[in-house]
Amino acid sequence: MKSLVIVESPTKIKTLKQYLPKDYVIDSSMGHIRDLPASAKEIPAKFKKEEWANLGVNTDEDFEPLYVIPRGKKKVVKKLKKLLKDADELVLATDEDREGEAISWHLVELLNPDVPVKRMVFREITKEAIQDALKNFRDIDMNLVNAQETRRIIDRLAGYTISPLLWKKIAPGLSAGRVQSVAVRFLVERERERMKFRSARYWDLKAQLSKLEDNDIFEADLTHLDGKRLASGKDFDENTGKLKKPKSVVLLDDKKASQLRDDLAEAEWKVSEVKKNRQKRNPSPAFITSTLQQEANRKFGYSAKRTMQIAQKLYENGLITYMRTDSARLSGQAINAARNAVEEEYGEEYLFKRARNYGGGSKGAQEAHEAIRPAGSYFKKPEKAGLSGPDFKLYDLIWKRTIATQMAEAELEFTNVVIKATANGTKAEFKTSGKKILFPGFFRAYVEGSDDPEAALENQENYLPELTEGEKIEEHGIEPISHETKPPARFTEATLVKELEKRGIGRPSTYANIISTVQDRGYVETDGKTLIPTFTAFAVTELLERNFPELVDSDFTSEMENKLDKIAQGKGDPKEYLSNYYKGDDGLKAKVESREDNIDPQEARQLHLPLKDLDNIDVLVGRYGPYIKSKRNGDEVTTSIPNQWYPSDITVEKLEELVKAEEEGPKSIGKHPETGESVYVRNGRYGPYVQVGEVTDDNKKPPRASLLKGMKPEEVDLDLALQLLDLPRLLGKHPDTGKEVRAGVGRYGPFVVHDGTFASLRKNDNVLDVTLDRALELLAKKKKPKRSSEIKELGEHPTNGKKIRVMNGRYGPYIKYGKKNISLPDNVEPEKVSMKQAVKLIEEKGK
């Protein structure tokens, strides 16, 4: 009997094929093969005149969706239909989640098979898992299909109903979404907190101390003065920068701290209290989708989207279990594999006394999945998995986190010491602490990262000598230390995923998409790891808060997610759910229609920022970005806000400077020596720049040049302006080709260029004075695309005679085996690879 197996990913085919019977033919749907129309072009002619056609959902007929085959999928469907004609049964092996179940259902609806249909499910692509799946076929789970379809429809209803309103009231091209708008509000609320924040400065003392006649220095911080606690960051009000209870603490300034340091110069130092306590630490659960995204962001800086792409690849290559899950549970097979790995890698003393498992998962968890872990009954060691680069890093992270769950607790000893310094009636109390790891336990394998870059990790010891109460201490120096309170930290991808999960917004399969969507739509910019909402994000959030508050209410959105979960469990009615959301007096359609006319576009584009004394200046967003408007002497002054400014960077003083500069107009800093025209320093949408002459009908685009990073407009003189206008400047001729070498500034920063080859300038180079010799040096180092070259030939494979060679390619060294390429692990030196090693790597790769 011939079986046709359909998966959703072509990568999956390669791994799965190894474990299927020979009479099974396998192919891919390349993801979803049907969806709601993405544009008017995709709407079939017979539906184009229907009122609901653009929506793609017939809201009057039980929210019947209009499914179409996207243009790029028609060949795929044709191929699958052809393969089905020769098959005796259809086996659907898409992922076992809502999306995967929906793909299988769409395949049946579209292919209309007249042969038996079987649903094959597995959570890892290993021999044991596939053999088990072949014995346990099931039917398509329509509850999961209904949940996916309902989510798709409701997201379409929300997006297509609210987005046109934003186009009319704020700017074209904007979008709103049932989940994305809530995520954007989280970011905006945090930015508002930062704008309201008022910093405060306070001082304390840090003492360098040691035991008597001992050279081992340790540090202690001043905490009390004459019995009263010293003020610290927690004592200040975030919105005023003032002390909450000024009478209950001592506040030191620069002078007082320096004076106290001098007063304590002749002090007697003595240990007044020593407290020790031992604590045990347990390992974190194995990864679920959200914690994997968070940890990969903390440790490697990977975006949620990139993490999921790498994890998908590892899963499809049979190395890890399914990567979209909200259950931290490990199967019995996984626990045994992890315990064996611990004993093999670290020894029996590092094995926890009993099998450790974790139940549950995130709020509103979906189906009872297993945690993300290495696949199979034996966990392949990272260095033997044939991986490199990001793939190796993520697999190594998953492997270590999983085996750590079965490792012994870490045992720590904490010592807290109070030291008193007395001099001339002044009594100062200093505190210090130490941390000692008595037994590392699971720390040997894995230590969780921190969202606070300044926080010490769990496995970092803090040395402190053995001290006893009453012991005299020697002082080696006292330093006044200044501190400034910090505003609430902006979200990173890791902390945003954590917040979404905590509030029940979205589900494992949606976190990465939520974050990439708000970035793609221009609501968020990134600065390193941090996510910063744009002015447009503020405008959209304010409009929704004022007119449709439930659409950005996290509790409302979380409850919607819970209802979708009930549909997935067969406990909810999709049609009733959609009707309650969209129809009736309280439905989305009626709300938008009744409130649209009351929304003034000018008011919608104006931002209400939490700044004091902003009465005379309006901050707005427009088609070309943010700008300000102010009435001065009866005239309206309008000017752009520089693109590099973020909302929380704005102060009333900065805005006043922009208005003043616009009022006064550009000031000439001199005349251009060749044209005699005035040279100006101006401010524009993309920041400050220099310009020759004025814009006129005959000269609509006068010569301009942006200021370099770090330059201030007030520091630019005529000589510097002329240098900027001269970019890209000629450095000379290349000695080998005779062609020009130039230095300039582009999209990715300063560069030198020769004959189409660009090389970035380094941190210490200056584009205005870089020399030809330096440019030639940088260009010589510029890596050109590598062609594969042979490092060594090993000979023929001992069983099949195929030639085996070690090669060096664009992405590093690899083994060439026939027509196949196998990457070498990072710890293997290509020049030393033996035939035996190569054959082993080939076998591990299943080639």
DSSP sequence for 15-47: HHGGGS-TTEEEEE--S-S-BS-SSGGGS-GGG
CA distance 56 to 698: 50
C-alpha distances in Å from residue 300, one per residue of 292, 396, 498? 11, 12, 17
Contact between 166 and 176 (Cβ < 8 Å): yes
Three-state secondary-structure class, residue 281 = strand
Of the candidates 312, 55, 243, the one whose C-alpha atom is nearest the C-alpha of residue 159 is 55
HEC assignment per residue over 647-669: HHHCCHHHHHHHHHHHHHCCCEE
Q: Backbone phi, then psi, for 256, in 5-degree steps?
A: -65, -40
Please return the burial class of 772, using the count of CB atoms within 10 Å of its CB with bins 0-12, 13-18 and 19+.
middle
CA distance 444 to 199: 41
CA distance 827 to 135: 40
Torsion of CA 792, 795, 797, 798, to 10 degrees: -130
Please return the burial class of 93, using the count of CB atoms within 10 Å of its CB with bins 0-12, 13-18 and 19+.
buried
Three-state secondary-structure class, residue 605 = helix
Of the candidates 697, 637, 701, 694, the one whose C-alpha atom is nearest the C-alpha of residue 664 is 637
Beta strands in 534-580 (DSSP E): none
Tell me the CA end-to-end span of the chain in Å, nearest whole number.
Answer: 27
The DSSP 8-state label assigned to residue 260 in this structure reads: H
- Residues serving a catalytic function are 322
504-533 burial: b if 16+ Cβ within 10 Å, else e? bbbbbbbbbebbbbbbebebbeeeebebbb
Q: Token match 């179409």: residue?
A: 68
Contact between 568 and 143 (Cβ < 8 Å): yes
Q: Token match 């009993």: residue?
A: 354
Contact between 314 and 320 (Cβ < 8 Å): yes
DSSP sequence for 406-468: TBPPEEEEEEEEEEEEEETTEEEEEEEEEEEEEE-GGGGT-----SSTTSPPTT--B------
Q: Backbone phi, then psi, for 181, in 5-degree steps?
A: -70, -30
Residues ≥6 apart with Cβ < 8 Å to 263: 423, 424, 426
Element (H, E) at 814: strand 812-817
Residues ≥6 apart with Cβ < 8 Å to 450: 298, 457
CA distance 22 to 2: 9
Its sign, for the CA torsion 19, 21, 22, 23, is negative
Contact between 219 and 206 (Cβ < 8 Å): yes
CA distance 680 to 694: 9
> What residues does 416 pair with on adjacent strands?
275, 433
Contact between 798 and 763 (Cβ < 8 Å): no
DSSP sequence for 709-739: TT--GGG--HHHHHHHHTPSEEEEE-TTT--
